Structure 1
Amino acid sequence: MEAGDAPLTPSPENMAALRSAKKALRLEMKRRVAALSDAEKRRQTEVVSRRLIAHPKYQNCQRIAVFLSMADEIQTEYIIKDVFQRGKECFIPRYKSRSNHMDMVKLCSAEAIQQLPLTSWNIRQPAADGSQEEALTTGGLDLILMPGLGFDKHGNRLGRGKGYYDTYLERCLQHSKGKPYTIALAFKEQICDEVPVTETDEKINEVLYEAP
């Protein structure tokens, strides 16, 4: 393809094959993580958290978005506490379940998480009352910590299929600060040889996990 040409649109057959491959890989990733003991997940969480906190991108950022973790993800409670201890500004996701729209809204303290309402996914998120600062309406973001089900070493990410983060990263491009640096947090069991992707899937800059 010549420089400047538009990317080719995948055929319906290719799109169906991609969707099928993603579905199979999601099931495999969920199976791998489900096989981990709670103690092993805590151990890997500690390793990954330490690596992140020592990372120059983390140390030098001021405005950071952090996901509130589910049971099958690297746990982020310690990271959020560290964000506040360092005087950084912390933003967390607020999802609209009937669309792929997500905002990153400001969290006032680590303790405030326990007062947030639970969603149908059994994770906490800010109420949609418009009272919290949204990152892209003010100073943008320096760093986004990315969840996911699977990752490869080329920066490809397998999400849960809703497209929340891909769409949000596209919106970040419209902000004067531009696209934030993105770091995924993963169990080593979530690292794949190759994640199937489409042209709407956003690459991530880096994946942190316990290397073998």
Structure 2
Amino acid sequence: MKADNAPPAPSPGNMAALSAAKKVLRLEMKRRVAALSDAEKRRQTEAVSRRLIAHPKYQNCQRIAVFLSMSDEIQTEDIIKDVFQRGKECFIPRYKSRSNHMDMVKLASAEEIHHLPLTSWNIRQPAEDGLLEEALTSGGLDLILMPGLGFDKHGNRLGRGKGYYDTYLERCLQHSRGRPYTIALAFKEQICDQVPVTETDKQIDEVLYEVP
């Protein structure tokens, strides 16, 4: 599903109302995914992964950022293996716990993931003090795979409330390579009619999920 030409995000206006609407939708999206069996999540992960690997934007990219998935997200480990098998450069998120800052740092191999420390979110990421290549200090990125709790047909994304990816996409605009193409990976249960947004929320280019 590609984002259509949606109107600009509305003015924040009543931020309290927007915040409340997002909170309600986050709970609903979490409830929907929690109802899925492990087998169903694996099945949809395989279907979405196949769609991504066949996608021209994926096939033609060289520098790609991939999120390390949590249990309630499309699993990305096999995608990362495919990235390395194709000789692409893979970057993964590194969050700074004391701020809402995120970098995309270069991964040396798919096997390296299993040796990374666990965060409080129970996902692996490189140590905050590690000296690793950051995508925006070198060649930029061609493609970013986006996580999220919910998505709509306009390319609006419901994150977990920290703004990591919105801020990072804003930083990408300062790079000579410009804004990378963005593809979200989702369970079909995460697609909703409308995601409430503020003027700081960034639209994504495309959402991949299993379609009948």
TM tier, shorter chain? over 0.9
TM-score with structure 2 length normalisation? 0.94
Any runs of at least 4 consecutive aligned residues in structure 1 with deviations exceeding 6 A, and if so which? Answer: none
- 3-state DSSP of counterpart to 1:52: helix
Q: Separation in 2 of the partners of 1:147 and 1:71?
A: 12
Where do 1:85-100 residues align within 5 Å? 85-100=85-100
Identity of aligned residues (%): 88
Alignment partner, residue 158 of structure 1: 158
Alignment partner, residue 209 of structure 1: 209
Query: For structure 1, which runs of at least 5 residues remain unmatched after alignment?
Result: 1-6
Alignment partner, residue 174 of structure 1: 174
Pairwise CA distance, 1:211: 1.5
Alignment partner, residue 131 of structure 2: 131
- 3-state DSSP of counterpart to 2:105: strand
Q: Which segment drifts farther, 97-106 or 45-54?
A: 97-106
User: What whole-Å deviation, never above 9, does each CA across 1:156-208 have from its counterpart, x for those lacking one?
Assistant: 00000000000000000000000000000000000000000000000000000
Pairwise CA distance, 1:10: 3.2
Alignment partner, residue 4 of structure 2: none
Aligned alpha-carbon RMSD (Å): 1.1
- 3-state DSSP of counterpart to 1:105: strand
Pairwise CA distance, 1:9: 4.8
Where do 1:39-58 residues align within 5 Å? 39-58=39-58
Contact residue 95 and residue 128 of structure 2 kept, 8 A: no
Q: Separation in 2 of the partners of 1:71 and 1:98?
A: 24
Query: For structure 2, which runs of at least 5 residues remain unmatched after alignment?
Result: 1-8
User: What whole-Å deviation, never above 9, does each CA across 1:76-129 have from its counterpart, x for those lacking one?
Assistant: 000000000000000000001221100000000000000100000000000122
Q: Separation in 1 of the partners of 2:128 and 2:188?
A: 35
Pairwise CA distance, 1:131: 1.3
User: What whole-Å deviation, never above 9, does each CA across 1:63-82 have from its counterpart, x for those lacking one?
Assistant: 00000000000000000000
Alignment partner, residue 111 of structure 1: 111
Q: Which segment drifts farther, 97-106 or 76-85?
A: 97-106
Report the structure number with the largest CA radius of gyration. 1
Quickly say closer, same or farther: Cα 1:15–1:54, change in 2 above 3 A: same
Pairwise CA distance, 1:130: 3.8
1:77 and 2:74 matched: no
- Out of 12, 24, 27, the residue aligned to residue 10 of structure 1 is 12
For residue 12 of structure 2, what is the amino acid of its counterpart?
A: P
Q: Separation in 1 of the partners of 2:41 and 2:130?
A: 35
For residue 47 of structure 1, what is the amino acid of its counterpart?
A: A
Alignment partner, residue 66 of structure 1: 66
> Using CA pairs below 8 Å that are at least 6 residues apart, which structure has the higher relative contact order?
2
Q: Separation in 2 of the partners of 1:171 and 1:42?
A: 33
Q: Separation in 2 of the partners of 1:51 and 1:200?
A: 29
User: What whole-Å deviation, never above 9, does each CA across 1:13-58 have from its counterpart, x for those lacking one?
Assistant: x111100000000000000000000000000000000000000000
Q: Which segment drifts farther, 159-168 or 121-130?
A: 121-130
